[in-house]
A and B are shown apart, each in its own frame.
Chain A
Amino acid sequence: MSTSNDAGDTARAADELRRRVARQFRRSLHIRTLDTGSCAACEQEIRLLTAPHYDLHRLGFFFTPAPRHADLLMVTGPAVRAMDVAARKTYDAIPDPKIVVATGACALGGVYQPDLFVHGAVDKVLPVDVWIPGCPPSPLALLHGLLVAVDRLAAKAAQLSFTVTGETR
């Protein structure tokens, strides 16, 4: 057996496991947001999700402040080091199984590079399951990301072409 096949099997098994976990929350998901040093633009877009135009409640998603009641942790900001303890405590307080979503360009590693004050990306501090790019990601992008997190939509960025003629690797 070649190692690349092993790696592929492991990756497929991991993906299948993730999807089985995600499907538990298909139409009832409680989200806890965590700000690790963002500029609050992502928070404003997140807040807009509860407004009548986007209305995430119709999809079965709810915000909760208590991590004990949460299923999904939505993290914004570039993982400031001062938030290490709080982020870890919040993550630990959420019962398993849980999903972690890194939201916004900062959380994905852009804008801020690792230095004395920031880690730069959330996946350096917490294990992330879904990444949502954008600065800030619009409410539509957030809805898409949440639906990917609960396996109601398939992630398609891998297949998207970012060249006009279609040449990407």
Chain B
Amino acid sequence: MAPWFLRGLRRGVVTTRYPARRDSSADDLPTPPRFRAGEMTHEIAERLAAVCPSQALRRDGGVLVYDVGACTACGRCEEAAPGVAAPGGQFELAVTRRADLVKRIPLRGEASS
């Protein structure tokens, strides 16, 4: 008996059932962050915008403009503001309109400049 045949019988089908069923490997993927809007101050927003290497975060007036499409899930914003930014967990992010990926998060407090 060929060794791969027995191995195959033991292990079963390895193909994922996605999209019919969840694939457990999705849990370990690096994903774009989610933000605590309640704690997002102007100052934190400026810091996050400066630290993002991909220009995904930008402060525009009283809003943090967050381009999910440009995010590389590098994690620097989570390092810079650990309580505010956390891994988002969403990987099904494909869109048919580019604007759907640009999120605007309202900032708390007054502008410092």
Contacts and interface: CB of A to CB of B under 8 A. Distances in A.
Direct contact of A and B (CB under 8 A): yes
Q: How large is the interface on A (under 10, 10 to 19, 20 to 34, 35 or more residues)?
A: 35 or more
Interface in B69-103: 69-74, 86, 88, 90-98, 100-101, 103
B94 A141 contact: yes
Contact of B93 (A134, A147, A149): A134
Given A108-B70, A163-B36, A155 B94 contact: yes
Interface stretch (A24-32, A51-59, A82-90): A51-59
Contact of A134 (B15, B67, B73): B73
Given A131-B101, A164-B34, A164-B35, A156 B92 contact: yes
B101 A133 contact: yes
Prevailing SS type, chain A contact patch: loop
9 contacts: A54-B16, A128-B98, A140-B92, A144-B94, A148-B94, A148-B96, A158-B95, A162-B103, A168-B103
Given A132-B94, A138-B91, A155-B95, A165 B19 contact: no
